[in-house]
Amino acid sequence: MYLPTYTNIPSESTIEQLSNHHLLNIFGACSSWFFIPTRHEENKLGYDASLQEHKALIIQYKAFHPNIKGGGIININIAQHNQLKSNFPSRATPYAFYAFSLITDYKTLSSYYASNSGCCKFSDDMVFVDIYDIPANSKSFNTASLRSIRHYNLNRLAKMCLSCGIGIRQEYFSELLILSDEENSNLSVIFAHVPRNT
């Protein structure tokens, strides 16, 4: 059995799994689901527009690299960023996000869950930023920039999606394509059930 080194930064995959788990619990685990493209999928994937009363969020998870003085950076792959913007055009309500956790080590993450406050504290430390709020040709994103751009923690993202403040309706999502390759690792698409009257 392999255990994490408690001084290491949590991996993108760990953060992705925990974040997706919490989002499914908020949206309803029996009425929402995630699609996670494999690296061997066909180049272009379409969606069945007959799935009604669902909204989609696109989430590209990134690793957080903390600074000694506090805060940190997220590395941005310019080719991936351009591909995301090409695949997911800007709309009136944001629906495609970079996501990362401000948790700096597995010890902190473990302590949240050991104290039975994991859900709340983890959710507060998750950050979701609209891909269109990242400046063009940026190779990194400094968390100090969060003061000047729109961002959400996990609970706020879910609440905004359920109230139709963010996300894209399933019938519009069918127009979009995802190119699935090496550039899209740690990409998640959540389909959340949101009644038509919201």
* pLDDT score for 52: 42
* pLDDT score for 139: 93
* pLDDT score for 51: 35
Q: Give the domain ranges of the chain.
A: 12-193
What mean pLDDT is reported for the chain? 80
Most confident range, picked from 1-10, 64-73, 94-103: 94-103
* pLDDT score for 41: 47
**pLDDT tens for residues 7-21?**
899 998 899 889 988
How far apart CA 93 and CA 91 sit, in angstroms, is 5
- Predicted confidence (pLDDT) at residue 144 exceeds the cutoff of 60: yes
**pLDDT tens for residues 30-85?**
888 777 666 544 233 322 222 345 788 888 899 999 998 888 999 998 888 888 88
Contact 24, 196 (CB under 8 A): no
**pLDDT tens for residues 106-115?**
999 999 988 8
4-7 long-range contacts, CB within 8 A, separation 24+: 4/106, 5/106, 6/105, 6/106, 6/107, 6/110, 7/105, 7/106, 7/107
pTM of the model: 0.84
- Give the tokens for residue 122: 């983890």
Q: Give phi and psi for 34, each to the nearest 5.
A: -110, 140
Q: Kindly write down the DSSP assignment for every residue of 20-34, as one continuous string.
A: HHHHHHHH-TTT-EE
* pLDDT score for 130: 95
In 3D space, the residue among 87, 78, 83, 101 whose CA is nearest the CA of residue 12 turns out to be: 101
